[in-house]
């Protein structure tokens, strides 16, 4: 499974890269707005940190013609840009056009398996179903992931990767991995929670204490 960082925090992205836990980055207009930074230069900096990993940069319009212009401009930033478009009729049309030109496209705001089917037919490199937002309204977000994976498995001609988005906690990652999702994107702090376990901490404390009693040094 690939781990994408859902953030525009350059330090956090670099930290995950150093840890070996960064396979890509996703951003959206809300993340960019919270950063307080200029969009294009920020995306350029992210691409420099992870030049071989997909970096999702989202269009800001809902109009087809303008989205196409925005998509072309974003794709020109770097070879590893995945242009992010909403799952609308215009968004799917943009996806088809950009995909035909060799640009990676991430189709976002997916909330149904049939939407995911349309994105795959439009040539999306990634489909982003939002599990946390479904959980928020009393549904089970992971059910959507299972259905999308099942549909995609039925049609080997589809090469769209299932990118689990709106991930809130490690349990979402665990369930995504068990189902066989291709990618999860989440805040860096959620990824870092994966290596934390009280038994690991307790065991390490015991080893350290016992080693000190020996009075020895490996160095």
Q: 153-168 pLDDT, tens per residue?
A: 999 999 999 999 999 9
99 confidence band (pLDDT: 50, 70, 90): very high
Active-site residue (options: 84, 96, 212, 213): 84
Tell me if 190 is assigned to some domain.
yes
For tokens 């080997």, name the residue: 156
Q: Give the CATH number, domain containing residue 103.
A: 3.20.20.70
pLDDT score, position 107? 98
Taken in order 27, 32, 37, 38, the sign of the CA dihedral is positive
Q: Let me know: does 120 contact 97? Beta carbons within 8 Å.
A: no
Tell me if 172 is assigned to some domain.
yes
Tell me if 132 is assigned to some domain.
yes
Tell me if 126 is assigned to some domain.
yes
Active site residue 84: yes
Tell me if 219 is assigned to some domain.
no
In the chain, the number of structural domains is 1
In whole angstroms, give the CA distance from residue 28 to residue 58: 6
**pLDDT tens by residue, 55-87:** 999 999 999 999 999 999 999 999 999 999 999
Tell me if 53 is assigned to some domain.
yes
pLDDT score, position 67? 98
Tell me if 112 is assigned to some domain.
yes
pLDDT score, position 197? 95
The whole-model pTM stands at 0.95
DSSP state of 14: H
Range of the domain at 65: 2-214
112 confidence band (pLDDT: 50, 70, 90): very high
**pLDDT tens by residue, 1-52:** 999 999 999 999 999 999 999 999 999 999 999 999 999 999 999 999 999 9
Q: Side-chain half-sphere of 21: how many Cα atoms within 13 Å?
A: 19
């Amino acid at each position: 499974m690939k781990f994408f960082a859902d953030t525009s925090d350059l330090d956090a992205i670099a930290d995950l890269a150093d840890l070996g836990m960064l396979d890509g980055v996703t951003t959206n207009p809300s993340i960019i707005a919270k950063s307080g930074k200029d969009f294009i230069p920020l995306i350029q900096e992210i691409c420099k940190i992870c030049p071989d990993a997909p970096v999702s940069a989202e269009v800001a319009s809902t109009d087809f013609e303008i989205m196409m212009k925005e998509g072309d401009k974003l794709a020109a930033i770097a070879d590893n840009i995945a242009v992010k478009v909403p799952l609308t009729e215009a968004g799917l049309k943009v996806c088809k056009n950009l995909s035909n030109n060799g640009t990676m496209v991430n189709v976002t705001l997916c909330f149904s398996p049939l939407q995911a089917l349309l994105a795959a037919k439009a040539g999306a490199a990634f489909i982003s179903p939002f599990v946390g937002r479904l959980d928020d309204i009393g549904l089970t977000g992971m059910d959507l992931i299972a259905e999308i994976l099942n549909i995609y498995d039925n049609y080997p001609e589809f090469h769209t990767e299932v990118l689990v988005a709106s991930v809130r906690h490690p349990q979402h990652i665990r369930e995504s991995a068990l189902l066989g999702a291709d990618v999860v994107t989440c805040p860096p702090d959620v990824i870092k929670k994966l290596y934390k376990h009280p038994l690991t901490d307790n065991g390490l404390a015991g080893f350290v204490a016992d080693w000190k009693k020996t009075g020895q040094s490996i160095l």
